[in-house]
């Protein structure tokens, strides 16, 4: 019996962890990858090659943004709402035993306090505001409320809908006290702050619930988004909404004198890595973009037909992408773009792509190849890219010029090892 959208979403949320054992019916063998041809990121639609950065910026980049918007992610219908406003709801300058400053803010997207909103949390190194230059910052979305990123008992508990999960202490679609710190290892707050960075986060469900109903609630209501199957073919889905929210968080950070909004790295894991890439491709204010195990629809090449496919992701999560993307189900060869061009859209700003050896569902080699095939665009800006032709060995990161890649041991997750690489790359490209 086919799964309902709700049941499929609940099950598929856990799939990356389950796919350490290869799933029947999906390709996990390099020898079985079909021949494929990648579209040239430096060839205009009319067939003229791009040979300089100015032509890339004024002609090719807009072309590619249009195609990704129309065919895959859907169009972002607007930027910062005119009535958007926010307020700091709490500040503790001796948080985490005096090791950090914690700030919580509520951001309303209209003039109404009972309208769509999101909650932003910031941890930054300690010190009086006038005692330091503004902090470079890592910004990302979280899965179980801001309370999940650290065990700090003073973080406000999310009251938004979230997926019920016994593992993560979510009962009846609501966070409990037990959700505090359930993803602390993925955020590594203390290590980031000790390194001289701020870290900021938003619960992705504040923006769009990760279920079909999300397209008719919260941020989607601001733009009259249609339901899952009643949208216009090029109307955005959840990934577009989550990416939009990251840009709105950057608006807020830009107004904080203690944060250097010129040095904000946007990052994300899995589906939120897809959102981070799409946010970075659209919003050139992000100084660094980080994809952690983002897989299909993220950093992995679609045309390789390895692990998760276009058809599987569109069937399992029909509310993530535009409905037009479904026309490429089992027809990846017909896609006019591939994900190396998504990474190229971020050039010349740096991108770090990360994979896990035990995560074949996300196609680690396909993620590496996306970064590798984006190099010609980085070369237009005088950057060498990764500087390697072959996928590096496990736990041997390549922090190149503009592009970085690593694959580590382990499964679908974010680990302290990942954060060490991101911080090292941040030190290199954010002018620490």
CA–CA gap between residue 278 and residue 295 (Å, rounded): 13
CA–CA gap between residue 100 and residue 155 (Å, rounded): 13
Catalytic residue among 270, 291, 294, 355: 270
User: 270 catalytic, yes or no?
Assistant: yes
Tell me: cis bond preceding 117? Omega within 30 of 0 counts.
no
Distances (CA, A) of 44 to 73, 166, 284, 334: 21, 50, 21, 17
> Contact at 8 Å (CB) between 375 and 41?
no
CA 214, 219, 224, 226: dihedral to nearest 10 degrees?
A: -20
For helices 238-254 and 271-282, what crossing angle results, to 10°? 60
> Contact at 8 Å (CB) between 88 and 103?
yes
CA 46, 49, 55, 56: dihedral to nearest 10 degrees?
A: 100
Look at residues 223, 193, 183 and name the one whose alpha carbon lies nearest to residue 415: 183
323 alpha carbon, distance to own chain's centre: 20
Look at residues 127, 117, 120 and name the one whose alpha carbon lies nearest to residue 89: 120
List all residues 6 or more positions away from 160 whose beta carbon is below 8 Å from its beta carbon: 145, 175, 203, 205, 206, 209
User: 201 catalytic, yes or no?
Assistant: no
CA–CA gap between residue 335 and residue 71 (Å, rounded): 8
Within 56-183, where are the H helices?
61-68, 95-98
* Residues linked to residue 370 through DSSP beta bridges, in sequence order: none
Counting Cβ atoms within 10 Å, is residue 2 exposed (0-12), middle (13-18) or buried (19+)?
exposed
Catalytic residue among 183, 267, 352, 412: 412
Q: Tally the C-alpha atoms within 13 A of residue 109's C-alpha that lie toward its C-beta.
A: 24
Catalytic residues: 270, 412
């Amino acid at each position: 019996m086919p799964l309902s959208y709700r049941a499929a979403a609940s099950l598929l949320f856990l799939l990356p962890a389950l796919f350490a054992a290869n799933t029947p019916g999906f390709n996990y063998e390099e020898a079985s990858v079909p021949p494929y041809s990648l579209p040239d990121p430096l060839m205009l639609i009319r067939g003229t090659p791009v040979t300089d950065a100015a032509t890339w910026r004024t002609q090719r980049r807009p072309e590619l943004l249009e195609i990704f918007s129309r065919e895959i992610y859907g169009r972002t219908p607007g930027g910062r709402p005119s009535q958007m406003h926010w307020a700091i709801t709490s500040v503790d300058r001796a948080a985490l035993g005096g090791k950090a400053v914690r700030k919580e803010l509520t951001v309303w997207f209209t003039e109404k306090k009972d309208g769509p909103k999101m909650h932003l949390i910031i941890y930054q190194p300690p010190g009086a505001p006038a005692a330091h230059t503004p902090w470079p910052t890592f910004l990302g979305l979280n899965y179980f409320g801001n309370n999940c990123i650290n065990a700090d008992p003073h973080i406000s508990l999310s009251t938004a809908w979230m997926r019920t999960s016994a593992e993560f202490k979510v009962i009846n679609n609501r966070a409990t006290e037990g959700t505090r710190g359930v993803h602390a290892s993925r955020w590594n707050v203390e290590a980031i702050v000790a390194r001289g960075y701020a870290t900021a986060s938003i619960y992705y469900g504040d923006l769009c619930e990760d279920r079909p109903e999300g397209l008719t609630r919260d941020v989607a209501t601001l733009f009259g988004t249609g339901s899952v199957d009643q949208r216009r073919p090029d109307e955005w889905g959840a990934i577009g909404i989550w990416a939009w929210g990251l840009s709105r968080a950057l608006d807020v950070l830009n107004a904080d004198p203690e944060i250097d909004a010129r040095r904000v790295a946007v990052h994300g894991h899995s589906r939120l890595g897809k959102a981070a890439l799409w946010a970075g491709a659209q919003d050139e204010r992000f100084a660094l973009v980080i994809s952690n195990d983002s897989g299909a629809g993220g950093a992995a090449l679609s045309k390789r037909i390895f692990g998760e496919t276009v058809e599987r992701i569109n069937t399992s999560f029909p509310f993530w992408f535009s409905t037009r993307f479904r026309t490429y189900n089992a027809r990846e060869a017909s896609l006019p773009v591939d994900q190396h061009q998504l990474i190229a859209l971020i050039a010349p700003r740096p991108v770090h792509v990360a994979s896990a050896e035990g995560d074949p569902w996300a196609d680690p080699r396909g993620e590496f190849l996306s970064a590798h095939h984006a190099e010609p665009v980085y070369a237009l800006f005088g950057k060498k890219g990764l500087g390697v032709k072959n996928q590096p060995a496990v736990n041997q990161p390549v922090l190149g010029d503009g592009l970085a890649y690593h694959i580590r041991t382990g499964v679908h997750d974010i680990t302290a090892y990942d954060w060490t690489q991101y911080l090292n790359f941040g030190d290199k490209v954010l002018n620490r």
